[in-house]
Structure formats: C-alpha cells, structure tokens
Amino acid sequence: MRILITGGAGFIGSHMTDRLIAEGHRVVAMDNLVTGDLANIAHHRSNPNFEFIHHDVSNHIHVAGDLDWVLHFASPASPIDYLQLPIQTLKVGALGTHNALGLAKAKGAKFVLTSTSEVYGDPLVHPQHEEYWGNVNPIGPRGVYDEAKRFAEAVAMAYHREHKVDVRIVRIFNTYGPRNRVNDGRVVPTFINQALRGEALTVFGEGRQTRSFQYVDDLIEGIRRLMETQFNKPVNIGNPNEMTILEFAKLILRLTGSRSEIEYRPLPVDDPKTRKPDISRAKEVLGWEPRVPVEEGLKKTIEWYRSIM
C-alpha cells in the first residue's frame, strides 16, 4: 500500500512510519516540522519506499500518485505546545483535517484521524467510554486543542456520511516512549529528564490529578488493528493503568534511581482532574489491549532519554 502520514516526522507519526515501512508498505511522510523533527525519520531517508514532503497541511495538500490511506496525525499535542501555538493548533485540527479528508476523497483512500482523550475535557464520567460527550471549556486555554479535535471528528464523520469516505477515529490517551520531545512539557519527558539531571520534579497542584500512561508500541498496534476493521466510530486506545501524578513522580524517581526532590507548582487552568480510558470497545472490536507494563515501557523510555542526553 502507499500511505500518507501527516505529522510523519512527529513522535507518533514516526513510529507509525517505522511500522508500515517494516511491513513493506510505501510511506509518504508530510510535516511542517513545527513540533516534528527530521531526526525521527532520518533512518528512512535513503529507503526508496519512503518519501518526505515538507508542507503545512493547514494549506491545500498536493500529493502526486495513488494513495491507499491518509493517516492524519499532524498536530501540536502537548499542553505547552498548543498554548504557544493556539492558532496553528486550531488550524491543523480544522483546516488540516478538512484538507486531509478532501485528499482522501479525491484519491479514493481510507482515512485515519488521530483524535484525543481531550475530547472528554475535564471528564464527569470515569473511566471515559466513547459514548460520553465530554466536558470541555470552549474558551479556555486547552479549548484550541480540544475543540479543534472535536471539529475534526465532526468533519470526519460528515465526510463519511456525505462522501462515503471510509474513516477511522482513534481517541489517543496519554502516550509516551522514545522520540517524545524532551522539552514538549508533557509530564513523562519532563519528569524523566528532571530526574536524570538531578533537578526537582515539578508536580503541578498537589499531584492528586490522575493519568493513565500507554507505551507507544501499544498505541501503534491498536491503530494498525483499527485499519484492518470496518469500524467507523471512535475507539479509545490507551492503557487503563491509572495513577496520580504524585505517584507517577515517585515511580520515575525509583526507576531512574534519582535523588531529585519534588517541587509543587500551580495547577494549570482546566487541567483535567482524572483520566482513564474505558477500553471495552477496543477489546471487542479490535481484540486489542495494552501489552507493555508501565515499568517496562518507562525503562525503555528512560534508556532512550539517557542515550540522547
């Protein structure tokens, strides 16, 4: 197959590129390199099955030749990134998704939208299942990401209903692993790098908010399985292993053997208090569940950050 991945030089896009190239497919990675990095795909540059196009998908997308799939992965995805890039975040979720769907329609390609657990906002239902409509502040600082992704889901379903584009929607929960940028502000790279440098771990609030962390390989397997189904409604892909951020900080201290202290900082506006995926739909539709225990995934990730320090 020939597959376009928008955001192909990003954290998750580059892992998807690796997987598809390993399966023998042809990959066109497209990225404007705002949060993506060519280093993530450098190992494919001389592969004839790999092409890179430097382009911002919020502008009209042109790709020559046939495409079997359009995987729309492009977006700033960490709270710090989308606070610094609010307009680009809105544009790539809205205009970028529209352009990517238009391309899929023109090529007769199937389509994957990487949506997010942020569509549930600061959830009032726990754990979050796909039928829950969410609790999002449209005008808060996170609204630029949450609402863009909610629009992205809406326009994907509209293209599915109106133009019969064969869409898949994956709602990704907190994911970590190698290539997640050191300075993207998310809790996993931040705590690991603080611990490795002997700096204090910056716990926001009292650290009582919860998250559930999944290793990137599990996510890629879930998306790959979703591509093999005929299922067009959203599917949560995440690891239900929920912990508080304070517990997580202590886990990172233990796994790195660091003697860093814990420092408390103000909780960011609209920071969700809890988050845990209900993955019964993924189990039923995809026969999928996460396989990588959190300590194992974190050890691999810590090794990777050590290697690039």
Distance of CA 256 to the CA centre of its chain: 25
Which range, of 8-16, 57-65, 95-103, 198-206, touches ligand UDP by CB under 6 A?
198-206
Residues 6 or more apart whose Cβ sits within 8 Å of residue 5: 13, 16, 17, 20, 27, 28, 29, 30, 71, 73
**145 in catalytic set:** yes
Could you tell me which of 25, 20, 158, 13 has the C-alpha nearest to residue 76? 13
CB 159 within 8 A of CB 167: yes
| Segment 257 to 286, residues that bind ligand UDP, using CB under 6 A | 268, 271
Distance of CA 59 to the CA centre of its chain: 21
User: Residue count at the site for ligand UDP (CB under 6 A)?
Assistant: 15
- The reply on whether position 99 binds ligand UDP by CB under 6 A is no
Q: Which tokens belong to 105?
A: 């329609």
- The reply on whether position 78 binds ligand UDP by CB under 6 A is yes
Angle at which helices 143-163 and 97-107 pack, to 10 degrees?
Answer: 20
Identity of the amino acid at 137: N
Q: Smallest gap, in angstroms, from Cβ of residue 165 to ligand UDP?
A: 28
The one catalytic residue in 82, 120, 145, 305 is: 145
Nearer to ligand UDP, 186 or 281 (CB): 186
CA 56/CA 192 separation, integer angstroms: 31
| List 132, 204, 231, 304, residue binding ligand UDP (CB under 6 A) | 204
Binding mask 131-170 for ligand UDP (x = CB under 6 A): ----------------------------------------
Q: Which tokens belong to 112?
A: 């994957």
Nearer to ligand UDP, 102 or 240 (CB): 240
Q: CA-CA distances (angstroms) from residue 257 to 182, 199, 252, 299?
A: 19, 13, 8, 11
Binding mask 171-190 for ligand UDP (x = CB under 6 A): ---x----------xxx--x
* Neighbouring C-beta atoms of residue 202, cutoff 10 Å: 14
- The reply on whether position 75 binds ligand UDP by CB under 6 A is no
Binding mask 228-247 for ligand UDP (x = CB under 6 A): -----------------x--
Which range, of 16-24, 147-155, 201-209, 216-224, touches ligand UDP by CB under 6 A?
201-209
Catalytic residues: 145
Residues that bind ligand UDP (CB under 6 A): 78-79, 174, 185-187, 190, 202-204, 209, 211, 245, 268, 271
